[in-house]
Amino acid sequence: MSRIGQRLRAKLLLACIVAFSLATPAVARAQQIYSGSNCVFASKGTDWTLNRGALFNRNGLFSNRARVDCPIVKEQPGAAIRSASILVLDGSFPPGFTCELVAVEVVASRATVQRKGSARGTTGVDRQPERLDLPLFNQSSFGNVWFIGCFVPSGGSILSYTVDFR
């Protein structure tokens, strides 16, 4: 093969490699860890306090489980959630902490449609941090707003939550 033929072949090979790398989308993965203080309570009449970045329910009655929503911020539109978990303390008996991944979408009629993953609960009483891995659901083109929704018993607190995007 002539020297010109070798150069042409090398340039063609390089052009193919560059074209393929530009055509193949990069898979970016990012993990975000949020403080429990980012969560907001949706229940009224509960006694809340922030302590070292954790949200804590000080209400003395077990029956007064409070609804708390922990927002998820997608920094890249269209990014899918690969995994989600929440770190909690549950000092109640029987165990009373439950959390689930939630997506809300506003449809054409301006109504909202909500989709939830299966709820996960704590074992309770040991006062050790417990990580709840939240089940995912089909995310294809769904969800304008994402959050982790929890029911927090008296004495329970949310320390942090983690979301892994792809």
* Maximum mean pLDDT: which of 4-13, 39-48, 154-163: 154-163
Which domains, and CATH codes, for the chain? Answer: 28-165 (2.60.120.260)
Contacts of 161 (CB under 8 A, 6+ apart): 33, 34, 36, 39, 70, 84, 85, 86, 87, 148
Question: 99-139: per-residue pLDDT in tens?
Answer: 999 988 877 777 777 788 888 888 766 678 899 999 887 66
Q: In the beta sheet, which residues pair with residue 147? A: 71, 102
Q: Counting every residue, how long is the chain?
A: 166
Pairing of strands 54-57, 112-116: unpaired
Query: Whole-prediction pTM value?
Result: 0.72
Q: Is the pLDDT of residue 85 over 60?
A: yes
Q: Determine the number of helices (DSSP H) and then strands (DSSP E) in the chain.
A: 1, 12
First to last CA, the chain: 46
Identify the CA nearest to 69 among candidates 147, 139, 163.
147
Q: What is the pLDDT of residue 84?
A: 93
Contacts of 134 (CB under 8 A, 6+ apart): 84, 85, 86, 99, 100, 101, 117, 120, 148
